[in-house]
Structure 1
Amino acid sequence: MGSTTLRIALLAAGLAAGFSGQALAQGASPAQPAKPEMRENCPGLVASRSPVFRRASFDPALLQLAALAADQVRITFVGHATFLLESPQLVRIATDYNDYIRPNVLPDIITMNHAHSTHYTDRPDPRIPHVLRGWAGQERPARIDMTFKDVRVRNVPTNIRTWGGGETERHGNSIFIFEIANLCIAHLGHLHHTLTQAQLDEMGRVDVVMVPVDGSYTLDLDGMIEVLHALKAPLLIPMHYFSGHSLDRFLTRMRQEWEIEVLEIPSTVISKTTLPIKPKILVMPGR
């Protein structure tokens, strides 16, 4: 594939997206056993060669949409905790969809968590076909497992701290798992505690993790690193870091064990065969 074609693919994705504590006691309901097909679709680290992260400079002349191959997923960081995921059949998913940061394209699927107003909205665009709320109330967790075209979306409920930080709200957050093009992508949402073995088992082996790294509003840095060690994903994408200081603090700690790559634009195309052999942190510009 020529360099111009690669630039077209990533430029189109970027334009479409708009460029626009301590661990808590779980107390959650026992997780349901993972489905056998999830185990097959999320086999974990099977890469055999180094990744190729494709990037492009901004060039208004290249206003074309390049199709994805059958084994590819396009990931664009819109900002905060919102990513736009695009499947080979052009299913578009926006994570932690809210009133402040949104992609400029209409998603087919949105996921939300209600820890803070920047992670959900009560007023989603009525044209969005699939609105997935990652909470249902303290008496019962949200349970989501849906398939749309070539995408499967499921969730693993977790607890959150209340706004004042003094109490635990059961089932207030969801880790959303996206199974696309033989990849298993996990968005940790507004995670406030380390994960139980039951939750890890329900997630299965994941290939890509979108991880909040602020170290205060979500899980503290030590706890988050513990979660990442437990997940053993080959590719980590930081989010929810507010400032360069909090991102740098996370990267300084992680640089001791993980390779770090910084992209020039907030978009990349990945596949199972381009996953890194050694775990890598992929930093996209955003906030």
Structure 2
Amino acid sequence: MKPQYLILAIASLAAFAAPDLAAAQEQRPPVSQCQAIAQTIPKATLASFSGAPLMPAVSEGEDVKLTFLGHSTFEIETPGGIVIATDYNGWYRPATMPDVVTMNKAHTTHYTLTPDPGIKHVLHGWSDIPGEKANINLVVGDAYIRNVTTDIRFSYGLGGAHENGNSIFIFEIAGLCIGHLGHLHYELTDAHYTEIGRLDVVMVPVDGGLTMGADSMSRVIKRLRSSLILPMHRRGPPVEAFVSMFGKDFDVANAPDASITVSMRTLPKKPLIYVLKGVQ
């Protein structure tokens, strides 16, 4: 075959192969950067990322804004403008229509079966198929969203447990690993910690009993060793009942408002329990 014909033949084959290659890349599941160091060390306490002291970030494209809207609903805004609402029940809403909402099945304060039809991605933390787990692996804009399921008690502890009825949602954004523990009823196992991996920021329920008691929840937080701990879901006991479980290895601060902006570069070096306005 003459060289010019050989070149044409190779080009033609490449043209046919390119769409198949692109399709394969699109179907390939995303890779979690937060899980990468956890796969072979199931009993390890994972170290959080140590950045600079918490301060306003100055460079563009790295800031993630978290706003407490109420109960266990946070608005997460990514550098690319994606808006996510956690434990969305339709009562606490971001100012703009969220692109993504996550839900848990513990109580109607954590989900709605009639979300606004304008919401593009409605992610249930439970499966409607008995015996199956919810399996979330979704990329929306500059956010990768995945989940780790846990069991929950039926309403107010009546009737035993609902297997895999809760999801810990994990949002990987701008290098940050952000976790929302949902309606956590039981202490996490080694397998859970391995699935979760590193969490730089964690939203944790501090009601002291509707989820887990302060002592049990504090053990979870101490093992996760996140840089930034955001209390939520406070019912009854003051936040101080949760905070009192931590010693000198953790800093505590009350926020002047309901929002915080954070990046990989501005994470606190020492774990910080940061109580946003509205949670106090």
Match runs of 1:212-251 below 5 Å: 212-243=205-236, 245-251=237-243
Q: Which of 150, 162, 174 is the matching residue for 2:154?
A: 162
Cα deviation digits, residues 126-157 of structure 1 (max 9, x gap): 00000000001441110001001100000000
Partner of 1:178: 171
User: How far, CA to CA, are the matches of 2:233 and 2:77 in structure 1?
Assistant: 21
The answer for the alignment partner of 1:50 in structure 2 is: 53
Distance 1:68 1:78 in 2: 26
Structure 1 counterpart of 2:259, one-letter code: S
Larger mean CA deviation between 232-241 and 101-110 belongs to 101-110
1:215-254 Cα deviation digits (max 9, x unpaired): 11101111101111121111100000035x4312112223
**1:223 alignment partner, SS class:** helix
One-letter amino acid of the counterpart of residue 214, structure 1: D
TM-aligned CA deviation for residue 184 of structure 1: 0.3
Report if the CA contact (8 A) 2:49-2:200 is conserved: no
What are the Cα deviations for residues 9-67 of structure 1, in whole angstroms up to 9, with x where unaligned? xxxxxxxxxxxxxxxxxxxxxxxxx956443599963324211168xxxxxxxxxxxx9
List per-residue Cα deviations over 1:237-280 (Å, max 9, x = no partner).
0000035x431211222355411111111011100111111111
3-state secondary structure, aligned to 2:235: coil
Is 1:130 aligned to residue 121 of structure 2? yes
For residues 281 and 88 of structure 1, what CA distance do their matches in structure 2 show? 23
Q: Give the conservation status (yes or no) of the 8 Å contact 1:160–1:170.
A: yes
Count of aligned pairs: 241
1:133-187 deviation line (CA, Å, top 9, x unaligned): 0001441110001001100000000000011414011011000000001000000
Q: For residues 281 and 204 of structure 1, what CA distance do their matches in structure 2 show?
A: 20
Aligned match for 2:35, one of 39, 63, 85: 39
* Alignment-derived partner of residue 61 in structure 2: 70
Matching residue's letter, 1:96:
D
Q: 1:91 aligns with which of 64, 82, 85?
A: 82
**Identity percentage over the alignment?**
42
User: Under a length normalisation based on structure 2, what TM-score does the superposition of the two structures give?
Assistant: 0.80
One-letter amino acid matched to 1:77: F
**Secondary structure, aligned partner of 2:109:** helix
- Does residue 1:204 correspond to 2:207, yes or no? no
Q: Distance in 2 between matches of 1:41 and 1:286?
A: 35
C-alpha distance in 1 between matches for 2:167 and 2:82: 21
Q: Out of 135, 138, 146, which is 1:143 matched to? A: 135
In structure 2, the CA distance between the partners of 1:53 and 1:218, relative to structure 1 (3 Å rule), is: farther
Distance 2:273 2:56 in 1: 12
User: Normalised by the size of structure 1, how large is the TM-score?
Assistant: 0.78
* Cα distance in 1 for residues equivalent to 2:156 and 2:254: 35
1:270 to 254, 259, 262: 262
Change beyond 3 A, Cα 1:179–1:194: same
RMSD: 2.2
Distance 2:110 2:91 in 1: 9
Aligned residue for 1:29? none
Aligned-partner SS, 1:228: helix
1:28 is matched with which residue?
Answer: none
Contact 2:249/2:270, CA 8 A, preserved across alignment: no
2:35 alignment partner, SS class: helix
C-alpha separation between the residues in 1 aligned to 2:176 and 2:37? 7
Contact 1:81 1:239 in 2 (8 A): yes
> Higher relative CO (CA 8 A, sep ≥ 6), structure 1 or 2?
1
User: Gapped runs of 5+ residues in structure 1?
Assistant: 1-33, 55-66
Give the Cα separation in 2 of the matches to 1:238 and 1:74.
Answer: 16
2:144 to 122, 144, 152: 152
| Preserved contact between residue 74 and residue 86 of structure 1 (Cα < 8 Å) | yes
Q: In terms of Rg, which structure is larger?
A: 2
Partner of residue 189, structure 1: 182
Structure 2: runs of 5+ lacking an equivalent: 1-29, 39-45
The structure-2 alpha-carbon separation of the partners of 1:252 and 1:164, relative to structure 1 and needing over 3 Å to count, comes to: closer
Cα distance in 1 between the residues matched to 2:243 and 2:56: 19
Say if 1:41 and 1:182, in contact at 8 Å, map to a contact too: no
